[in-house]
Amino acid sequence: MVKNIETAKKYCLITLLEKNLLRSHQAPIVLCKKNKSAKFTTKHLANSNHSLGIMLPNAPLHHLLFTNNKLNALVMTSGNKSNEPICIDDSTYKKIGNIADFFLTNNRPIHNRLDDSIVFHNPLSNKKTFVRKSRGYTPEPIKIFNKQSGSSILALGAELKNSICITRGNKAYVSQYLGDMDNLEAINFQKEAINKFSKFLTVSPSIIACDLHPNYATTQLANEIVSQNSKITKVSIQHHHAHIASVMAENKLRKPLIGFAFDGTGYGQDGAIWGGECFYFDGKKFLRKAHFDYFDLPSGDDASKNIWKVGLSLLHKAGVKDIPKHLKVFPYKTILEMIEKGQCQKSSSVGRIFDAVAAITGLQLTSSYEAHAAMALEAIALDIKPQKGYNFIFKKNDDKILINIDQSIREIVKDFFNKTPTSIISAKFHLMIAQIVVDMFKKLSIELKTKTVIFSGGVFQNKVLLELLKTKLEPLGANYYTNEFVPTNDGGISLGQAWLAGNFK
């Protein structure tokens, strides 16, 4: 939190849109590019990121803190253990007692937990995009159906960055960010949110939408609700369909279109971990037209933290025998054996591909949170404009197209051994991903006779990628959409689930 805009400009480069967002009554956290010449004393602040999360004082106490002291900036974080909901009473402070020197509390009890919202200036849409939608922006209704509906839908959202969505009549109400559903506190918080929301809207949902994954906490909650009430029906929605559908809901699009869903993870209809998907919506259903060629994902979810495993996997797939030394400090032979024995789940996740490139180049070998390494890769590619990206091919496989990047992995390794700066490798990699999207769009828009295209999923928060797409898509006359009302990461899944459940199931 900084004292005012002038102070913000000392630390960051602020666009006009960013300035307006900072000063809006919602006063969210705005991700702004670091001013490289700023005299920052600490490299511990968002070290591997190109941006800082900046906010202005938004409550009277904040104003007093800055007025009465010679303070320019305060580093703030929310009062909770990583991934858990905000602590709302003094007893829970004991949990997090060791994370700060002082705690600022209040004598007003907390009735409704809200994190600060996080937004950024999206270069593709040239509008604000939510990374996290919460304080100041929720609950906010959006009209998503053309007709008033008698039934109410409760969509339970994704497993990570969860939000729920309840529909009433022709409108959808999306909750605030509820966190990751991998801990008991968050699950209870979600149940609390469902109760509060249902009461607030005076509805009793008769349809529950949830993810396809059989073991998610949200799926289990859906099963629990249905078993307790035979009048409620459950609808399962594929994760990446929900991403595309969230943009369709925002814009009430029901016509044929092309949808790109790129993210870290989502349970696929074939049991694989999807994340690099290209669909055709034919007016009634989604057809999977293309995806990144499957690679092995050793240890499933763990691979999003121990990303060196995915690095090894892509090297193996590309037939690279010369493994960079920094990957050999890990039990690499065990992982390669697992892969060779076919013991791993298959994945097409672009998020994991980013992680793999970060690991192969040695930029980062483990991640402490989802997309940690991918963001580091993004940060170093900023402002680098290579002539050409790495090579890829489209391979036809029955009714689908497989995007094969094996050649690019071999080229990346070659560049690495030639001591090419990682920033250049990253920039060429980003350029390749953008080119893949553009070439696939060109190909499919001819075949399917539509230029309407949707981009959704956490990878489409990558500013380098978004800037490249903007430049390349404009001359093609593409009619493109991305998320605006809800985040393009998993925070937007519940809206997509609700829309699909209400329209097509």
Q: Using the rule CB under 8 A, is 59 a contact of other proteins?
A: yes
With contact defined as beta carbons under 8 Å apart, do 297 and 452 qualify? Answer: no
**CA-to-CA separations, 377 to 22, 275, 492, in angstroms, rounded:** 27, 18, 24
How many CA within 13 A on the CB side of residue 239? 34
Which listed range, 59-67, 262-270, 306-314, 349-357, lies at the site for other proteins (CB under 8 A)?
59-67
Q: Does 184 bind other proteins (CB under 8 A)?
A: no
Q: Strand 257-267 to strand 452-456: parallel, antiparallel, or no bridges (unpaired)? A: parallel
- Give the shortest CB-117-to-other proteins separation in angstroms: 10
What DSSP assignment string belongs to 108-168? Answer: SPPSS--PPPEEEE-TTTSSEEEEE--TTT-SEEEE--SS-BSS-EEE---SSSB--EEEE
* Cβ-based neighbours of 429, under 8 Å, separated by 6 or more: 357, 377, 381, 389, 390, 408, 412
Applying CB under 8 A, does 71 fall inside the site for other proteins? no
Q: How far is the CB of 495 from other proteins (least distance, A)?
A: 19
Q: Please state the closest distance from residue 64 (CB atom) to other proteins, in A.
A: 6
Q: Considering beta carbons, is residue 108 or 284 the nearer one to other proteins?
A: 108
Torsion of Cα atoms, 380 then 382 then 384 then 388, to 10°: 90
Contacts of 473 (CB under 8 A, 6+ apart): 124, 438, 441, 480
Distance of CA 58 to the CA centre of its chain: 26
- Using the rule CB under 8 A, is 200 a contact of other proteins? yes
| # chain residues binding other proteins, by CB under 8 A | 14
**Start-to-end CA span in the chain (Å):** 45
126 exposure class (CB count in 10 Å sphere: 0-12, 13-18, 19+): exposed
Q: Is 111 in the site for other proteins (CB under 8 A)?
A: no
> Is 60 an interacting residue with respect to other proteins (CB under 8 A)?
yes
Q: Using the rule CB under 8 A, is 109 a contact of other proteins?
A: no
Least separation in angstroms between CB 127 and other proteins: 21
Which member of 38, 64, 71, 446 binds other proteins (CB under 8 A)?
64
76, 114, 232, 476: which one binds other proteins (CB under 8 A): 114
Q: Is 135 in the site for other proteins (CB under 8 A)?
A: yes
- Choose, by CB under 8 A, the member of 46, 74, 93, 136 that binds other proteins: 136
Q: Quick one: which of 4, 23, 61, 369 contacts other proteins (CB under 8 A)?
A: 61
Nearer to other proteins, 60 or 477 (CB): 60
Residue 88 near other proteins by CB under 8 A = no
**Which CB atom, from 28 or from 496, has the smaller least distance to other proteins?**
28
Longest dimension (CA), the chain: 69
Window 142-181: contact mask with other proteins (x via CB under 8 A): ----------------------------------------
Q: Which is nearer to other proteins, 110 or 393 (CB)?
A: 110
* Paired sense of beta strands 345-347 and 295-297, if any: antiparallel
Six-digit token string for 10: 């000392």
Point out which residues bind other proteins (CB under 8 A): 59-61, 63-64, 106-108, 114, 135-136, 138, 199-200
